[in-house]
Structure 1
Amino acid sequence: MKPFKHIITFLLIIFFMNLSVSEAQTTANISYTVSFPEAQAHYADIEMHISGLKQNTLDLKMPVWTPGSYLVREFAKNIDSFSADAGGKTVPSPKINKNTWRIATKGVATVNIKYRVYANEISVRTSYIDISHGFLSTSGIFIYPANMLHQPSTIHIKPYKDWAKVSTSLEMVNNDPFTRVSPNYDILFDSPIEVGNQDVFGFDASGVKYEVCMYGGGNYDKERLKKDLHSIVEQETAIYGENPNKHYVFIVHNHLRGGGGLEHLSSTVLGASRDAYGTEKGYQNFLGLAAHEHFHLWNVKRLRPIVLGPFDYDTENYTTNLWIAEGFTEYYQEIAVRRTNLYPPENYLDVLVGEFNILENLPGKNVQTVAESSFDAWIKAYRPNENSNNTTISYYNKGAIIGMMLDLEIINSSNGKYSLDNVMRYMYTEYYKTKKRGYTDAEFKQGFEKFAGKKLDDFYKKYINGLTPVDYNKYLGYAGYKINDELADNNDPALGVTTAATANKKLIVTSVARGTSAYIDGINVNDELAAIDDAPVTDAATLLNGKKAGDKIKVGVIRDGLPFTLEVTLLKNARVKYKIVPVDNATAQQLLVRKKWLSLQ
Structure 2
Amino acid sequence: MTAKSQVKINFEVSFKEPQAHYAEVEMNIAGITAKNYVDVKMPVWTPGSYLVREFAKSVEGFGATAGGKSVKTEKVNKNTWRVYNAKANAVKINYRVYAFEISVRTAFIDASHAFLSPANIFMFPAGMIKTPSTVKIIPFTGWDKVSTGLEPVAGQNFTYKAPDFDILYDSPLEVGNQDIFEFNAAGVRHEVAMYGGGNYDKERLKVDMAKIVEQETAVFGENPNKHYTFIVHNYAQGGGGLEHLNSTVLGASRNGYGTERGYSGFLGLVAHEYFHLWNVKRLRPIALGPFDYENENYTTNLWIAEGFTSYYPTKVMLRAGFINQEGFITSNLGSIGTVMNTPGSKINSAAESSFNAWINPAYRPSENANNTFISYYTKGQVVGLLMDLEIINATKGAKSLDDVMKAMYLQCKTLKRGYTDAEFKAMVEKISGISFTNFWDKYVTGTVDVEYAKYFAYAGIDVINENEGKSVPYLGAAAARTSAGTGKVIIGAVSRGSGAWNGGLNVNDEVVSIDGAPAEMMLERMSQITYKKVGDVIKVSIVRDGLKRDLDITLTANPTVRFKSTINEDATPAQLVVRKKWLGIN
> Which of 336, 343, 346 is the equivalent residue of 2:326?
346
* Aligned mates of 2:249, 2:538 — CA distance in 1: 50
The reply to whether residue 401 of structure 1 matches residue 382 of structure 2 is yes
Task: Deviation per CA, 1:248-287: give whole Å up to 9, x if none.
Answer: 0111111111111100000001111112111112111111
> Which of 536, 550, 555 is the equivalent residue of 2:518?
536
Question: Does the 8 Å contact 1:64/1:72 carry over to 2?
Answer: yes
Task: Deviation per CA, 1:355-406: give whole Å up to 9, x if none.
Answer: 1111111001111111000001012343230111101111111111111111
Per the alignment, in what secondary structure is the counterpart of residue 294 of structure 2? coil
Q: Structure 1 unaligned runs (5+)?
A: 1-20
Task: Deviation per CA, 1:510-564: give whole Å up to 9, x if none.
Answer: 1101011100100001100111122221151155463343321110111011111
TM superposition score normalised by structure 2: 0.97
* Aligned mates of 1:218, 1:549 — CA distance in 2: 51
Q: 2:44 maps to what in 1? A: 64
Q: 1:471 maps to what in 2? A: 451
> Which of 66, 91, 97 is the equivalent residue of 2:71?
91
- Which residue identity does 1:426 align to in structure 2? A
- Which residue identity does 2:498 align to in structure 1? T
> Which of 495, 498, 502 is the equivalent residue of 1:516?
498
Question: Does the 8 Å contact 2:336/2:450 carry over to 1?
Answer: no
* Aligned mates of 2:536, 2:15 — CA distance in 1: 64
Q: 2:557 maps to what in 1? A: 572
Q: 2:427 maps to what in 1? A: 447
Moved more, 71-80 or 168-177: 168-177
Per the alignment, in what secondary structure is the counterpart of residue 402 of structure 2? helix
1:176 CA displacement: 4.5
Question: What is the correspondence of 1:103-122 to structure 2 with a 5 Å cutoff?
Answer: 103-122=83-102
Give the count of matched residue pairs: 579
1:497 CA displacement: 1.3
1:477 CA displacement: 1.1
Q: 2:543 maps to what in 1? A: 558
Relative distance call for 1:284 and 1:177 in structure 2 (3 A) is farther
> Which of 507, 513, 525 is the equivalent residue of 2:489?
507
1:474 CA displacement: 1.3
> Which of 37, 43, 68 is the equivalent residue of 2:22?
43
Task: Deviation per CA, 1:409-454: give whole Å up to 9, x if none.
Answer: 11111111111111111111112x2111111110000010001101
Q: 1:141 maps to what in 2? A: 121
> Which of 3, 11, 17 is the equivalent residue of 1:32?
11
Q: 1:248 maps to what in 2? A: 228
TM superposition score normalised by structure 1: 0.94
> Which of 365, 369, 384 is the equivalent residue of 1:388?
369
1:46 CA displacement: 0.5
Question: Does the 8 Å contact 1:472/1:482 carry over to 2?
Answer: no
* Aligned mates of 2:116, 2:399 — CA distance in 1: 42
Question: Does the 8 Å contact 2:472/2:530 carry over to 1?
Answer: no
Per the alignment, in what secondary structure is the counterpart of residue 389 of structure 1? helix
Relative distance call for 1:414 and 1:133 in structure 2 (3 A) is same
Query: Aligned residues: percent identity?
Result: 56
The reply to whether residue 593 of structure 1 matches residue 572 of structure 2 is no
Moved more, 353-362 or 261-270: 353-362
Question: Does the 8 Å contact 1:251/1:268 carry over to 2?
Answer: yes
* Aligned mates of 1:177, 1:215 — CA distance in 2: 21
Relative distance call for 1:41 and 1:144 in structure 2 (3 A) is same
Q: Structure 2 unaligned runs (5+)?
A: none
Relative distance call for 1:517 and 1:403 in structure 2 (3 A) is same
* Aligned mates of 2:27, 2:12 — CA distance in 1: 7
Relative distance call for 1:177 and 1:547 in structure 2 (3 A) is farther
Task: Deviation per CA, 1:461-519: give whole Å up to 9, x if none.
Answer: 11111112111111111111132223346544222112221121211111101011100
Per the alignment, in what secondary structure is the counterpart of residue 384 of structure 1? coil
Question: Does the 8 Å contact 1:55/1:105 carry over to 2?
Answer: no
1:456 CA displacement: 1.1
- Which residue identity does 1:107 align to in structure 2? K
Relative distance call for 1:89 and 1:176 in structure 2 (3 A) is closer
- Which residue identity does 2:33 align to in structure 1? K
Q: 1:52 maps to what in 2? A: 31
* Aligned mates of 1:545, 1:471 — CA distance in 2: 29
Task: Deviation per CA, 1:147-205: give whole Å up to 9, x if none.
Answer: 11111111111111211111100111225551111111000000000011111111001
Per the alignment, in what secondary structure is the counterpart of residue 33 of structure 1? strand
* Aligned mates of 1:542, 1:578 — CA distance in 2: 22
- Which residue identity does 1:189 align to in structure 2? Y
Per the alignment, in what secondary structure is the counterpart of residue 94 of structure 1? strand
RMSD (Å), alpha carbons: 1.4
* Aligned mates of 1:496, 1:383 — CA distance in 2: 23
Question: Does the 8 Å contact 2:118/2:172 carry over to 1?
Answer: yes
* Aligned mates of 1:223, 1:589 — CA distance in 2: 42
